[in-house]
Amino acid sequence: MLRYLAGRAAVAFFTLLGVSLATFFLIRLIPGDPILLLMPAEREISEERYQQLIIQFGFDRPLWEQYFRYIAGLFSGDLGISAFTRQPVLSEFMSYFPATIELALTATCFGLLLGVPAGMIAALARGTAIDLGLMSAALVGFSMPVFWWGMILITFFSGYLGWTPVSGRISVLYFPTPTTGFMLADTLLGGDLRAFWSALNHLILPTVTLGIIPLAIFARQTRSAMAEVLNEDYVRTARAKGLSEFRVVVVHALRNALIPVTTVVGLTMGGLLAGAILTETVFAWPGIGTWIVKAILSRDYQVIQGGILLIALVLILVNFAVDVLYGVLDPRIRAGGAS
Amino acid sequence: MNLVRTFIAGALTSLISAGLQSTASAETLVVCTPRSVQNLNAAQQWVTPSVDVMNAMHNRLVEIERGGTKLVPGLATSWEISEDGLIYTFHLRKGVKWHSNPLFTPTRDFNADDVIFTIDRYRDPNHFFHGVGVGSQYFDYTKIDKNIVEMKKVDDYTLQITLAKPTAVFLEQMASESVSIQSAQYGEAMKDAGTPDQVDLQPIGTGPFRFVAFQKEVMTRFAKFDDYWAIKEGDASRGALVDDLVVVVTPDPTVRLAQVKAGECNILIDPSAADVLDLVSTPVEGLALATVPGTSTGLLYCPLLPFSDADQRVPMGDMKVRQAFAHAIDKQAIIEAVFGGATGTVATSFVPPPIPGFVELEPYSRDVEKAKQLLAEAGYPDGFTIELWLAPLNRSYMPNSQRAAELVQADLAEVGVKVNIIAMDMAELRQKRRDAKYAYMAFSGLNMDYPHANAAVDGMFSCGGWSTVCDEEIERLYQAGKVELDKEKSADIYAHLQKRFREVLPVLPLANPIEFQVVSSNVQNYKIHTLGGQAFWGVSIKP
């Protein structure tokens, strides 16, 4: 097991090194100069100020030297500071990331809670109108643009019915102390139940919007995996032994069907962590998607480099967690990995 | 089971009540705005809502009346100018308290040391705080830093500033948010603590609201400053009348409108032209449209550069070509298509109409034949090809640059000029503009930083300035206007300058925006302020 973990750590290290290298040089290939963007669009920067800032930001040094300074900083835990806000990249990341995790987790849970049962039902009712209806609904959910979904939900639930807030993480009336950064947890820790409900209420529409595509994916994946597993010999054996249909489906079939679903959950969760930009934009959700995109538009090199590296690290950890979960779900994989 | 039912019922009740409670309260003024503050250093701020935020927190020596263009006393209660226009003696307000924050508690009131600290930070390259942050472009282009040769503290509440040359707009320049007065004592404390950056990350000021929290792209939060000098002087209406001020960033205009309709915002900055037209034709109960003429000018920028290395002709170098463009481009069509016919007017001068000194001039008529004739006289009977570099601007002076580019392209095609639209993002555009070697066009705009026509000329249309056109007459008038202290003579100079500008056209003025904001009808005493940041002091919410 130790060898396995050491191997994974080595792969993670070289992956992160590759990410840092690619991000550092690719972002500099895109035309644009962060120093020019520090100044208003309507005025050109004076040459004197430009040269001063070039030196201040270290852009006068050769690229390789800039890269090695960046890597040296990484080893001492310094990801640099944003050219625009002057805040350390790590501290900025930590202020945005909990919002993204909170939303990605709730969206994944929403997708799992509805998608897996829907896939199961469709698999059990293969070829019937129920199967066709559920899978068609999943296809519709998968095909609709997230931006459009968000606007429709806002218009109907917030605008027309007035049930849910339009955007943000919590009503501006509440300003919970950011202990964990997770709004639900912070409001509960603050002991303010009304603030907690406000935060929960603000999560509903973004969760549904972001969770619709994962829901569709989970439903289709579960259906397909279940359909395959239900034809396996051990399922027939279980039935022949006289086990209840519930036990056959849930304990014997579903557990095995969940292995490929788990892979998809891991990949989807990774996608949600890094790619919830549209949902974040529609709901003015302060997550890392918005943060990174704004940094790219303003060529805030340190934020882009540090932010993408941290996202990569999180994705590596999520995938590692998925691998561990494989082992729990399927002892054969655990045994193989350990050997 | 009953317990579960009770819990669910309780949860639903709380959920619904929490939803209802999420509307803005009588004590919190919520402003929804499209763009985020970049950082909290006053001297680096340019566009709303950055300057709005600075206005809430800070004061200047001299300020601009809310919603107008007149100068009013700020931290200076009065001032005298020497006969030769070189020495300004400011009498500073007494009893002005600084905000405090978890890092710092001030032990003295505002005084002359703070003004000296603020200006020296950007004026003196050896000042400790000169290298903290990225400097001030405002000081760079107004050259205040070079123009101030001496600051003398006569006593704690009297400050003499000596200029290198008489400057007609010195007081106006000092009224900009970029010259918001910072605390010298806070600076010293943060320097001693080894955390000088904190003066910009957790700023303090003397303004009506104190800073509470900031998250870029999310919101900036303030609380009422109870010790604000205006309140203590008995002028409560100049202080904060709400407990909290929250500036929330919502990039999408449709979502912003939904927020104000749902009561999540009290004031919506920058509604889209389509939403403004909708609200005009179909008023929404509980919402009102506030409107004033804007103090900016949208324009087409055409620097004097050659076609290529092989063809060294400079197409825009001939005044006749610029005049031909002015005749060819249908500006009224741009107003109709880009500004919805309601959120902008045709610009005839580089000076926006509300600015003192603006002169109403005859706009260039749409005249294709005249344009062709001018092009032929300039040596381009068959026209030429030029690129139009396009990046999303999303400013009130150019709300839809893509549509405007298409109209310009079609209009110029009629006179034989082929325009290739090259789309890019702002970062690329800024770099291309800096590195440009060959002729191109781009949209841009002029924002007035202070209420004087000179604000549009400084560094823009003077020789060696941004427009790249160097006209002797414009330069002479600009130099004369800068030092003319007599108001009548100054107005005459700027009137002549605008007439000469109309003929020379260093840039092509297209439109002046009409600013709109959507305001909840329970918001009282709010006035749109187009020169610099919005002023949220004196604004209350009817319960």
Total of domains in chain B: 2
In chain A, whose CA is at the least distance from the CA of B39?
Answer: A85
CA B326/CA B496 separation, integer angstroms: 20
Cα distances (Å, whole numbers) of residue B360 to B290, B346, B496, B499, B530: 25, 11, 12, 10, 20
Rounded average pLDDT over A218-237: 87
CA B435/CA A30 separation, integer angstroms: 15
Supply the pLDDT for residue B281.
Answer: 86
Cα distances (Å, whole numbers) of residue A22 to A25, A270, B315: 6, 19, 42
CA A190/CA A179 separation, integer angstroms: 9
Shortest distance between the Cα of A299 and any Cα of chain B, in A, equals 7
CA B239/CA A201 separation, integer angstroms: 34
B464 belongs to a structural domain = yes
**Could you tell me if A187 lies within 8 Å of chain B, comparing CB atoms?**
no
Here the ipTM equals 0.78
How many CA atoms does the CB half-sphere of A76 hold within 13 Å? 7
B133 in the same domain as B181: yes
Cβ neighbours of residue A152 under 8 Å, at least 6 residues apart?
Answer: none
Indicate if the pLDDT at residue B379 is higher than 90: yes
Kindly list the residues from chain B whose CB atom is less than 8 angstroms away from the CB atom of residue A31: 424, 427-428, 431-432
B534 in the same domain as B436: no
Rounded average pLDDT over B264-290: 89
Q: Do B244 and A39 touch (CB under 8 A)?
A: no
**Could you tell me if A44 lies within 8 Å of chain B, comparing CB atoms?**
yes
Supply the pLDDT for residue A319.
Answer: 80
* Closest to A323 in 3D by CA, of A274, A262, A251, A277: A262
DSSP secondary structure letters along B70-136: -EEESSEEEEEE-TTS-EEEEEEPSSPPPP-BTTB---S---HHHHHHHHHHHH-TTSGGGGSSS--
**Could you tell me if A92 lies within 8 Å of chain B, comparing CB atoms?**
yes
CATH number of the domain that B121 lies in?
A: 3.40.190.10
B310 in the same domain as B262: no
Rounded average pLDDT over B234-244: 89
Indicate if the pLDDT at residue B375 is higher than 70: yes
**Could you tell me if A47 lies within 8 Å of chain B, comparing CB atoms?**
no
What are the tens digits of pLDDT across the range A167-187?
889 988 888 888 888 999 999
B148 in the same domain as B63: yes
**Could you tell me if A282 lies within 8 Å of chain B, comparing CB atoms?**
yes
**Could you tell me if A45 lies within 8 Å of chain B, comparing CB atoms?**
yes
Tokens 């779900």, located at residue: A329
Length of chain B: 543
Q: Do B201 and A193 touch (CB under 8 A)?
A: no
Q: Which two tokens stand for residue A333?
A: 């994989």
Q: Do A175 and B212 touch (CB under 8 A)?
A: yes
Supply the pLDDT for residue B77.
Answer: 97
**Could you tell me if A28 lies within 8 Å of chain B, comparing CB atoms?**
no
Cβ neighbours of residue B8 under 8 Å, at least 6 residues apart?
Answer: none
Cα distances (Å, whole numbers) of residue B23 to A191, A284, B17, B35, B223: 21, 16, 11, 22, 18
CA A213/CA A265 separation, integer angstroms: 12
Shortest distance between the Cα of B233 and any Cα of chain A, in A, equals 30
Q: Which residue stretches of A230-254 are H helix?
A: 233-240, 245-246
B243 in the same domain as B381: no
Rounded average pLDDT over B397-404: 92
**Could you tell me if A107 lies within 8 Å of chain B, comparing CB atoms?**
no
Kindly list the residues from chain B whose CB atom is less than 8 angstroms away from the CB atom of residue A43: 137, 141, 459-460, 466
Q: Do A284 and B248 touch (CB under 8 A)?
A: yes
Cα distances (Å, whole numbers) of residue A272 to A95, A116, A218, A290, A310: 17, 18, 14, 13, 15
What are the tens digits of pLDDT across the range A262-288?
888 877 887 787 667 788 888 888 888
B19 belongs to a structural domain = no
Evaluate whether A225 touches A261 at the Cβ level (below 8 Å).
yes
Q: Do A37 and B430 touch (CB under 8 A)?
A: yes
Beta-ladder partners of B393: none
Rounded to a whole number of angstroms, the distance between the first and last alpha carbons of chain A is 8
B16 belongs to a structural domain = no
CA B189/CA B204 separation, integer angstroms: 12
Lowest mean pLDDT among B6-10, B318-322, B503-507: B6-10
B374 in the same domain as B257: no
Q: Do A32 and B466 touch (CB under 8 A)?
A: no
Cα distances (Å, whole numbers) of residue B508 to B206, B208, B344: 41, 40, 16
B467 vs B343, which has greater pLDDT? B343
Kindly list the residues from chain B whose CB atom is less than 8 angstroms away from the CB atom of residue A55: none
B257 in the same domain as B170: yes
Q: DSSP code of B65? A: P
Q: Which of B12, B13, B16, B22 to mutate to test the interface with A (most CBs of A within 10 A)?
A: B22
Confidence of residue B3 (pLDDT cuts 50, 70, 90): very low
A38 vs B399, which has greater pLDDT? B399
What are the structural domains, with CATH classification, of chain A?
2-75 (no CATH), 95-338 (1.10.3720.10)
Cα maximum dimension of chain B: 92
What are the tens digits of pLDDT across the range B157-191?
999 999 999 999 999 999 988 899 999 999 999 99
Amino acid in position A190: G
B486 belongs to a structural domain = yes
Supply the pLDDT for residue B352.
Answer: 92
B222 in the same domain as B179: yes
Q: Which strand (E) or helix (H) includes residue B495?
A: helix B487-504
Nearest to B22 among A36, A171, A282 (CB): A171
B94 in the same domain as B147: yes
Kindly list the residues from chain B whose CB atom is less than 8 angstroms away from the CB atom of residue A36: 427, 430-431, 434
Provide the percentage of residues in chain B whose pLDDT is more than 90.
56
CATH number of the domain that B324 lies in?
A: 3.10.105.10
B229 in the same domain as B310: no
Cα dihedral: B512, B289, B517, A147 (round 10): -110
What are the tens digits of pLDDT across the range B183-214?
999 999 999 999 999 999 899 999 999 999 98
Q: Which two tokens stand for residue A252?
A: 């014997």
Evaluate whether A206 touches B27 at the Cβ level (below 8 Å).
no
Indicate if the pLDDT at residue B16 is higher than 80: no
- Go through A256-281 and write b for each residue having 16 or more CB atoms within 10 A of its CB, e for each that does not: bbbeebbbbbbebbbebbbbbbbbbb
Nearest to A281 among B141, B251, B447 (CB): B251
Shortest distance between the Cα of B541 and any Cα of chain A, in A, equals 15
Confidence of residue B310 (pLDDT cuts 50, 70, 90): very high
Kindly list the residues from chain A whose CB atom is less than 8 angstroms away from the CB atom of residue B466: 43-44
B302 in the same domain as B451: yes
Q: Positive or negative CA dihedral for A153, A156, A158, A162?
A: negative
Q: Which of B31, B178, B255, B467 to mutate to test the interface with A (most CBs of A within 10 A)?
A: B255
Q: Which of A172, A183, A298 to mutate to test the interface with B (most CBs of B within 10 A)?
A: A172
CA B426/CA B430 separation, integer angstroms: 6
Q: Do B425 and A281 touch (CB under 8 A)?
A: no
Shortest distance between the Cα of B140 and any Cα of chain A, in A, equals 7
Q: DSSP code of A232? A: S
B315 in the same domain as B251: no
Cα distances (Å, whole numbers) of residue A152 to A111, A115, B189, B255, B256: 19, 21, 52, 11, 15
B287 belongs to a structural domain = no
Kindly list the residues from chain B whose CB atom is less than 8 angstroms away from the CB atom of residue A197: 11, 14-15, 17-18
Length of chain A: 339
In chain A, whose CA is at the least distance from the CA of B125?
Answer: A52
Nearest to B426 among A41, A166, A283 (CB): A41
Domain encompassing residue B353: 296-514
Supply the pLDDT for residue A46.
Answer: 78
Angle, CA of A327, A329 and A330, to the nearest 5°: 65
Shortest distance between the Cα of B159 and any Cα of chain A, in A, equals 29
B333 belongs to a structural domain = yes
Indicate if the pLDDT at residue B37 is higher than 90: no
Supply the pLDDT for residue B21.
Answer: 40
Q: Do A283 and B255 touch (CB under 8 A)?
A: yes
CA B231/CA B210 separation, integer angstroms: 14
